[in-house]
Structure 1
Amino acid sequence: MKLHDVLAGYMPEPRGLDGLALAVLLKRQAHGRLTVAFVQPPAWSTPGPAKAEESAWRAYLMEQADATLWQARQLAGEEADYVVHTHKGSGRGLVELARKRGADVVVIGSAPGGRKGRIALGSTADQLLHSSSVPVLLAPRGYADKPPTALERLTVAYRRGPGCDAAVKDAAATAGSLGIPLRLVTLVISSGRPAEVEEEMLMRLRDEAASNLRAAAHGRPQVVEVEVLEGRNVAQALGTTSWLPGEMIICASSATGPLRRVFLGDTSIKIVRAATCPVMILTREN
């Protein structure tokens, strides 16, 4: 999980500000490079008398792009690259641009309409989270209002399997390079069955989760904190622990998705929507 080349998708809206604030923080802490991209729709090609309208539309798009990147430059400074990329879909455009520029991670903000402090998934995120060849990092709504001064801890949402084991390995190396702690959490969701049956099942799940976490943390060069989070649903389980202002959650891609692509599974979708801090979805590597 490299974080040296950060690509931020930007638009002149609150979600653009949130994603850019997170990208700047990541670039600064990782001592990396930042590219800020505005994905705009293509101009149409029309023959005959409508050519004047086409020219006016192209001029408008150029003016909009210049204004958008000027705004981004005021926020992120001169130590970044600013590019305009043309594509019908903003998410697919970022996927294409990340591949062309060799980005290590794509950062965007929450879709509009969601709760403040939470992540809503819109069309841009949906395109990224089902086709990106690099990890995707999502900022909660309002993240730019009071961004942390630094990343303080990485938390891996762990579920035993090759994908999550690889995610722990990557996260451990990244946490070490950033000089921050690593935590592993496993969610235990109660079933709603009759009390005696449920308690017996929960005891087995707790023991299994704790054992898996200890095994995943064993042999790491740094001390790794482990926690089992329990609740009736994902949001309730995540609410049973504390989250630092500079926290970031890491989720592995679904094992059913394509290799070397991001693919969001059902549990990860629930984690993204319930999280109160940024969430990074890794690509599937095995």
Structure 2
Amino acid sequence: MTTIVAYQPGVVGREALQLGAFIARSTRSKLLVTMVLPTPSAPSVARVDFQYTSLLRQQLFTELEEAKGDTPDDVDAEFRIQDARSVPSGLVEVAEAEDAGLIVVGNSSRGAFGRVSLGSVTNHLVHSSPVPIALAPRGFHSHDPARIRRLDVAYGGLAGTSGLVLAAAGMAAEMGAALRLTSFSLRSRSLTTDLIAEDELRSAVTTDVQSSADRALTEVQALPHPPEIGATAIGFGEDWADAIADVGWDAGDTLVVGSSDMGPGRRVFLGSTGMRIVHESPVPVIILPGDAVPTLVERAESDRPGGDR
């Protein structure tokens, strides 16, 4: 398996390399560090265009040499320049040609520290890629543990989400990671002064989510090689940041988010709720496009060893 890193020079690129290595260790995959050279859709005979492209290609070679120095020594890495009409399309072309497991992108340099903020290229990929996308929070650096220890699935308890849970369970088993379902509930500000009403609401939400999660986890336990399953976590808050923080996060956690059912077929498409969860996540995020879920479920249900370490 191959993990694509969309590299750019600077801090953002180093964070993407760190996340790529974090995932590559966990999945035992090759790292393919890629820079895209945008090329005009129509050929030009102008010498100045040729010279400019040659200079830009040499610059990308120099930047990839710098990337080699920032890539951890314990991962198998390859470095490549891809010609394409745009950066997003070039990354997808490489990922599809390599049958890659996912594309890793860095954070926007203008984002809040410790949170995910999408730049223009990342935003395009998040809404169009047929390949899972992994996002690094700003300031991400993998120390200890150096690989994924737990996959947390953003779970809404809705019909049709069992596929997402099974897909994440298969990924967790292959990584030798634990699985946890996480749900987030926003409480009305008008209830904050009514403790009885708030307690009743919290109890009702917890009962509903836990009942649905138990059914989904029963399917996970029936897999040939189920991962270790942690207690379902439900976060409450007046806004998404509070609710997401409320579940508690550990080093080695990675959040899995599914595409919206309103998305264009097999490609990644995040609705407003999914985008808010991604933006407020304090840990790396993997976004699964709709078409990837059945394939991952099929792998999870196949009778082959998981990722025991």
Do Structure 1 and Structure 2 share a fold, with TM-score over 0.5?
Answer: yes
Flag as ranges the 4+ runs of structure 1 deviating above 6 A: none
Query: Is 1:127 the equivalent of 2:124?
Result: yes
Match of 2:104 in 1: 107
Q: 1:66 to 1:274 in 2, by over 3 A?
A: same
Work out which of the residue numbers 252, 255, 265 in structure 2 matches 1:249.
255
Q: 1:91 to 1:55 in 2, by over 3 A?
A: closer
Question: Is residue 191 from structure 1 mapped to residue 191 from structure 2 by the alignment?
Answer: no
Deviations 1:55-102 (A, max 9, x none): 331221121111121112222258322111133432232122212222
Amino acid at match of 1:236: D
For residue 22 of structure 1, report the CA deviation from its aligned partner.
0.8
Query: What stretches of structure 2 of length at least 5 have no aligned partner?
Result: 295-309
Residues 1:111 and 1:251: Cα distance change in structure 2 (over 3 Å): same
- CA-based RMSD: 2.2
User: Could you say which residue in structure 1 is the equivalent of 2:139?
Assistant: 142
| Matched position secondary structure for 1:29 | helix
Distance 2:186 2:144 in 1: 31
Provide the residue aligned with 2:211 in structure 1: 211
Give the AA of the match of 2:179.
Answer: L
Q: Could you tell me how far apart the structure 2 residues matched to 1:162 and 1:66 are? A: 48
Q: Distance in 2 between matches of 1:116 and 1:88?
A: 32
**Structure 2 CA distance, aligned partners of 1:223 and 1:199?**
27
| Partner residue in 1 for 2:58 | 63
Matches within 5 A, 1:131-170: 131-144=128-141, 148-170=145-167
Label 1:27 to 1:241 Cα distance change in 2 as closer, same or farther (>3 A).
Answer: same
Paired positions, count: 280
Contact 1:230 1:240 in 2 (8 A): yes
Letter of the 1:264 counterpart:
L
TM-score normalised to structure 1 length: 0.89
Quote the Cα distance in structure 2 between the aligned partners of 1:223 and 1:144.
26
Return 93-102 or 173-182, whichever deviates more.
93-102
SS class of match (1:35): strand
Give 1:245's aligned amino acid: A
Paired residue secondary structure (1:229): strand
| Match of residue 74, structure 1, among 69, 91, 94 | 69
Shift of 1:119: 0.8
Whole-angstrom CA distance in 2 between matches of 1:199 and 1:32: 46
Q: How does 1:168-183 map to 2 (within 5 A)?
A: 168-183=165-180
Q: How far apart are residue 103 of structure 1 and its match? A: 1.2
Which amino acid counterpart does residue 36 of structure 1 have in structure 2?
A: V
| Shift in Å, 1:172 | 1.1
Between 1:190-199 and 1:82-91, the stretch displaced more is 190-199
Q: CA deviation at 1:153?
A: 0.9
State how far apart, in whole Å, the 2-side matches of 1:21 and 1:235 are: 25
Cα separation, 2, equivalents of 1:148 and 1:113: 27
Structure 2 counterparts to residues 25-104 of structure 1, below 5 A: 25-42=22-39, 46-47=44-45, 51-76=46-71, 79-104=76-101
CA contact (8 A) 1:116 1:142 kept: yes
Tell whether the 8 Å contact from 2:22 to 2:142 is kept in structure 1 after alignment. no
Shift of 1:217: 1.7
Separation (CA, whole Å) in 2 of partners of 1:190 and 1:256: 25
Measured after TM superposition, the shift of residue 45 of structure 1 is 5.3
Alignment correspondent of 1:284: 290
CA distance in 2 between counterparts of 1:52 and 1:271 reads 48
**CA shift at 1:159, angstroms?**
1.2
Q: Give me the whole-angstrom Cα distance separating, in 2, the residues matched to 1:224 and 1:218.
A: 13
Larger mean CA deviation between 119-128 and 191-200 belongs to: 191-200
Match of 1:234 among 236, 240, 245: 240
TM-score normalised over the length of structure 2: 0.83
The amino acid that maps onto 1:246 is G
Q: Which moved more, 1:161-170 or 1:259-268?
A: 161-170
